[in-house]
Amino acid sequence: MKDFQLAWRNIWRNKRRTLITAASIFFAVFFALVMRSFQLGTYDSMYQNVIESYTGYIQIQHQDYIEEPILDNCFVADPEMIKKVESDPNVADVVPRLESYALAASGSRTQGVMVLGVDPEKEEKLSGMKERLVKFKLTDTAIGSLKLSDIPDRTKRLLDLFRNEAYSSTGRMMLDLGISTEDSADVLPVLRRYASFTNEYLSGSVPEGVLIGSGLSAFLKINVGDTLVLMGQGYHATSAAGNFIVAGIIKLPTPDIDKRIVYMPLETARDLYAAHGLATSAVLSMRDINDKAINATANRLRSLVSLPLAVRTWQEINALLLNQMEADNRSGMIMIGILYLVIAFGVFGTVLMMMAERRREFGMLVSIGMQKRKLAKVVTIEMLLMGLLGVISGIIASLPLVIYGHVRPLRFTGEFARMYEDYGMEPIMPTLLPDTYYLWQTVVVMIIISIAIIFSIRKIFRINVINSLKA
Amino acid sequence: MIIQIAWKNVWRNKTRSLIVILSVAVGVFAGVFAMAAMNSSVVQRIDAAVNEELSHIQVNNREFRSSSDIRDLIQGFNEVDSLMRSLPGVNSTTGRIIIRGIASTSAKSAGVEINGIDVEKEKEMFSLHKKVIPGTGSYFESETKFNSVLIGEKLAKELNIIRYILTPEAVAHLDSLKIPSVVLSKLDPVYGERFTSDKKFNRELEKLLTPNEIKKYSIQIKEAAWSYREGAKLILTFLDKDNNQTGAGFRVCGIFRTNNDMFEGMSVFVPAGELRALTGMEEGTWHRLIARLDNNDLTDELTEPARKAIPSYEVLNWKEIQPDLAMIADFMGQIYGIFMAIILAALAFGIVNTMLMAVLERTKELGMLTAIGMNRKKIFSMIMFESIFLSIVGGFAGMGIAGAVIALTAKNGINLMKYSEGMEAFGYSAHLFPTIDAQFFITTTILIVLTGILSSVYPARKALKLNPIEAIRTE
């Protein structure tokens, strides 16, 4: 305790030096944390995007499907097998899908699309499809009427920027149109009156009704109630063609998928592709979506299903995305590495100077009988305190920014947003809430400090009392 | 005079100054080098986009890019062409026929964009002919009575034209590369077997070899086993000028390899004449006019005049066709600035600390100088110069080392094999050849001097606040 007191007093004896050293550590920790938080948060949101709107956490597929995602690599959705899988404690539901490609045509325009046959109710529970139905659309007529209404001028100006944009949530629309929460009570009813969009979800009773992405609807220029023609190849090279009615339009966060997706009831898709009783994948909805729990579940399921079926986790299904993020992640880590390298030099420099400056003081202490071991202990505590001061203040300073960035993510607009969307990403940059990466920053700083400590302890044990008193 | 004194002061305490100089040098080196590596991937991407994929300026029928309709031609192509050529700075032009279609082999099929090209002109304007993989053929050079098509490696893999086989020759080649016979004997079970995809071959290797062996040898093994079905044919199906379905067999005359998976998987090239015969398109009709400029810097400057000269067609430069790429290129400049600023800010702490120490240590001396009449301005600038010297010596050393390392690595590049799959899907090469503009060194120098000035303010103020009488008395 005495040692601690001594160390505490020592570091405040030369306040300036302590503060500068702590400040350089603070600076590194703060920047590293904020940078990491944005980077990891962006990956996280991309994964969530893909997983929740599309792939799910675990799928059961034919073993060859992952390499050749074609209809012929499908499997019999055997009710008994499904029951077995459902009995796993972490599996909430098994949602079979039949997925293939087709050429969608309307009028003179055609587009290659992904056709997804889903169980309407189960899919709704898994990926919240109804939430994604378009609720507002800024059509030319809607914008015309809105401009005449008494909404704020700022919103009126923004309307042109988002012409023909479809929204599935009021939140996104409010952000785009610059509507503040205070104004929303006045403005939203006006928007509801002029820009509301009515459509319906898939239903078992209307088998020919399909949902299409808002991007696809814009490209093919078709709307709710219009006819959509699909042509393609069915199971084992039968020909597949049919007329469908657009029941609803959905907005998916990944624009690449939004531009080329058609959802239809599973049985309708099986009829279209002559694939009765078959599925290309069964998506499992999970109770616990923690990484560990998912891997454990996948391992349990692997022993349950037999060839030719295979259990795939989201990491396997999205291997390419993971590889891209990994490459990006490395570049971020190199940047932080450089930052820490610079800081390490700064810390060593300070420690070196401190040792030189206090040579006489140390010599004096040793000569009046202080054990070198005890002296080393005091100096160690001093440095740990300085390091902790920097780390803790860095963490505290980063917290408000990180939390705010998570609650209200940075949203890109204009060209930048378009670039994000071109790459199939939602144009936001959220932060990741404190996680193990916070711990790592602390560990790195502590390693730097420990090296400095080892260095100064060696110096202390080498003190030659006579020489240092003379200095 | 002040400058000389400052310079000498810097070297009075060598250890201390050297530590700061070293830390500045390391920080600047690491920053500049990391930027050069990052910058290279963008530079290489732009290079590929301009030299292999897009060229500088393209002219299309206004409808064509959205409709892809074979009838949306450039009417009176020769006139448009001569208008384009008449602009100063336009080096060469060529036309392209572009048709969407399906390429299929007996195994598989894939949607493609068929480019009907003028082979001779394209060879002058694009560098794609240099990208043909050795051993797979040539850029339309071999005489053949078939129609010929040039396709990308990615498409060739998708269509099972490329596969992996460990033939006796491949094994012999591996043996000559000094791959241990233990490893080769482990591969025994798969000799002669055919693997139709990269992944399947990888999976088999994972079964047979230890992770360590894979790390060491898998690239060489894959390269040796990489094999190409010679004389492979594929069938291209598309709509002719009257919207009737047509198609023909084409012999693969060569396979090109770029770093852009999308381009490799989508684009196939066919001599325009063959495509005309099949579609019934008339001689001299094209969908797109492509112009190459004397150099890339002219792109922005020439787009507007071209647009004015050819008002009835859509004129776009590569930056407009791929706005994301142009934006990343612009954005890089800002990233440089921010990143270097962060590093220098971190370095500033070290400099402030050292200078403060230097001032406090010299209290008596500074007091003496004031007492004998050195004015405050001179003391201030002396300290400021000391600080600038510290940062600039370190900065130049760092930039010098960075320049040398960039020059060294630029020869062979840095190969990030592990990430090639992900990066190439976006069109970026994983093999980086670090490069950086001279401009960047100037910006960095300015930033370094600024850092020196800013970090001297606090210590210099301390020095000015000294009371000469008290200062002289201190021990």
Domain ranges of chain B: 2-48+325-473, 62-160+230-312, 162-228
Q: Which of B16, B199, B323 sits opposite A415 (nearest CB)?
A: B323
User: What are the tokens at A23?
Assistant: 């400040």
**Smallest Cα distance from A300 to chain B, Å:** 22
Inter-chain touch B23–A27, beta carbons under 8 Å:
no
CA–CA separation, A260 vs A215, rounded Å?
7
CA–CA separation, A369 vs A220, rounded Å?
90
Relative to beta strand A239-250, strand A209-213 is: parallel
State mean pLDDT over B360-379: 84
pLDDT at site A418: 62
Neighbour count for residue A73 (Cβ, 10 Å): 16
Inter-chain touch B354–A335, beta carbons under 8 Å:
no
- Cβ–Cβ under 8 Å, residues A21 and B353: yes
Inter-chain touch A24–B346, beta carbons under 8 Å:
yes
Residue B135 at interface with chain A, using a CB cutoff of 8 Å: no
Is pLDDT of B397 > 90?
yes
In tens, the pLDDT along B234-276 reads 888 888 888 777 888 888 888 898 888 888 888 999 998 888 8
Residue B107 at interface with chain A, using a CB cutoff of 8 Å: no
Sheet holding B194-195, edge to edge: B194-195, B162-165, B226-228
* Residue A156 parent element (H or E): helix A153-161
Query: What's this model's pTM, rounded to 2 decimal places?
Result: 0.72
Residue of B21, B26, B160, B349 for testing the chain A interface, max A β-carbons within 10 Å: B349
CA–CA separation, B319 vs B333, rounded Å?
16
N- to C-terminal Cα distance for chain A? 31
- Cβ–Cβ under 8 Å, residues A236 and A273: no
**Smallest Cα distance from B223 to chain A, Å:** 21
Q: Which of B323, B347, B416 sits opposite A342 (nearest CB)?
A: B347
Is pLDDT of B400 > 90?
yes
Which residues are bridge partners to B195 per DSSP?
B164
User: What are the tokens at A166?
Assistant: 């479809």
Inter-chain touch A327–B356, beta carbons under 8 Å:
no
N- to C-terminal Cα distance for chain B? 28
In tens, the pLDDT along B425-455 reads 766 777 778 888 788 888 889 989 999 999 8
Q: Which residues of chain A have pLDDT under 70?
A: 53, 171-172, 175, 253-256, 413-426, 471
* Residue B194 parent element (H or E): strand B194-195
Domain borders along chain A are: 2-50+321-470
B339 contact residues in A (CB cutoff 8 A): 335
Inter-chain touch B423–A353, beta carbons under 8 Å:
no
Of B42-51, B140-149, B171-180, B328-337, least confident by mean pLDDT is B328-337
Residue B469 identity (one-letter amino acid)? I
Is pLDDT of B393 > 90?
yes
Can the peptide bond before residue B434 be classed as cis, meaning omega within 30 degrees of 0? no
- Cβ–Cβ under 8 Å, residues B223 and B153: no
SS3 B241: coil
pLDDT above 70 coverage of chain B, percent: 98
Angle (nearest 5°) at CA B250 between B244 and B251? 180
Kindly indicate the confidence band of residue B52, based on its pLDDT and cuts at 50, 70 and 90: confident
pLDDT at site B115: 92
pLDDT at site A415: 62
Residue of B14, B238, B342, B423 for testing the chain A interface, max A β-carbons within 10 Å: B342
Q: Smallest Cα–Cα separation from A99: which of A229, A209, A260?
A: A260
B426 contact residues in A (CB cutoff 8 A): 324, 423
- Pick the residue with more confidence: A109 or B33? B33
- Cβ–Cβ under 8 Å, residues B410 and B434: yes
Residue B16 at interface with chain A, using a CB cutoff of 8 Å: yes
**Smallest Cα distance from A104 to chain B, Å:** 14
> Which residue in B has a C-alpha nearest to residue A319's C-alpha?
B422
Average pLDDT over all residues of chain B? 84
User: What are the tokens at B188?
Assistant: 């025994």
